[in-house]
Amino acid sequence: MRGRSTTPTRAIITRRIGGLVGAGVLVATVACQPEPPPPRDLITSVSASSSVAGQLTTITVRVGENEVGGSPWINLGEGAGPGDAKLPASSAPDACAAGSMPAQAIAVSGGSELTLTCRLPETMVNGPWTIAISASGSFGTTWGASLPLVVTGGTDDVTPPVLTILAPQSQVVPRGGSFPVLYRIADDHLAPNTQLSPSWFQFQGNKPYDTTFFCAGPDDQFLRTQVSPTVIEVSFTCKVPTVLEPGLYKSFLQAAGDIYGRSTPIQLSVSIS
């Protein structure tokens, strides 16, 4: 009996090549398909009627949603100003502050318009700002929009406070013991008992990663001393838990700020034995 040849015939080779070419064309066709357009942002525009520090402004947010519900809100982020300034606190009860503020809503072509009127803090730093904006209503909460402002009539102070940590420094503390915390804040625009933070520290160890303890307590446990009109010292005593893994512990970053929203980060470290 004659043996069967194992060499493929020309027809078989042609079919195989044709199949591979066809598959390649299919892959190329799929790869070249245009990507679907991204979903349309719910917020279609954001604007403000004024950008003068200390004056009222009307913030207008348009959303592509016809029904916003009976309790719409406009949410302001901390914002970012010159020198990374944040929205400062203001004594005005109607101040534009970080957080959620009730808004008015009316129907407009293609959606709804949300508005709120508030006063830009008189201590805002002059220059360009970008304030994160979100809107809330029956549609939920939408994120990702921002309000650009060029602020005038405020301050030109873009220098953050100078921070000096006096204690702890290269200190080893036994479990169950305590250690003093003392730091000094210097700034030309510190008011008496100004916006000093933190009022607590959280320390975290590097082994294991999730080992933490708090230095916290009522505000009157943190002694604030006005050394001069431009210098304040803050001191308190931190208690170390008795059940704690030995090692180096660092605090989460906090901030010491001035009245203009400029701040300097604070991080403390201590070794626990």
Question: Over the stretch 116-128, which tens digit does the pLDDT of each residue have?
Answer: 999 998 888 899 9
CB 186 within 8 A of CB 230: yes
| Alpha carbon distance 170, 186 (integer Å) | 23
Q: How confident is the model at residue 35 (pLDDT cuts 50, 70, 90)?
A: low
Rounded to two decimals, what is the model's pTM?
A: 0.63
CATH homologous superfamily for the domain 162-272? Neutral/alkaline non-lysosomal ceramidase, C-terminal domain (2.60.40.2300)
At a CB cut-off of 8 Å and minimum separation 6, what does 194 contact?
Answer: 232, 257, 258, 259
Q: 80 by DSSP, 3-state: which?
A: strand
**Beta strands, E only, 87-168:** 99-102, 104-108, 111-119, 127-137, 140-151, 162-167
Instruction: Fill in the amino acid letter for 123.
Output: T
Pairing of strands 263-266, 231-239: unpaired
- pLDDT score at 97: 85
Residues paired with residue 128 on neighbouring β-strands, in sequence order:
150
Question: Over the stretch 236-250, which tens digit does the pLDDT of each residue have?
Answer: 888 888 888 888 888
For the chain, residues classed under CATH 2.60.40.2300 are: 162-272
Half-sphere exposure of 226 (CA within 13 A, CB side): 9
User: What does the block give as tokens for 23?
Assistant: 């598959």
| Alpha carbon distance 204, 214 (integer Å) | 9
Q: 220 by DSSP, 3-state: which?
A: helix
How many other C-beta atoms are found inside a 10 Å radius of the C-beta of residue 249? 22
Residues paired with residue 147 on neighbouring β-strands, in sequence order:
131
Q: How confident is the model at residue 178 (pLDDT cuts 50, 70, 90)?
A: confident
| Alpha carbon distance 107, 64 (integer Å) | 10
CB 235 within 8 A of CB 225: yes
The residue written with tokens 């044709």 in the block is 18
Q: 219 by DSSP, 3-state: which?
A: helix
CATH code of the region 43-151: 2.60.40
- pLDDT score at 210: 61
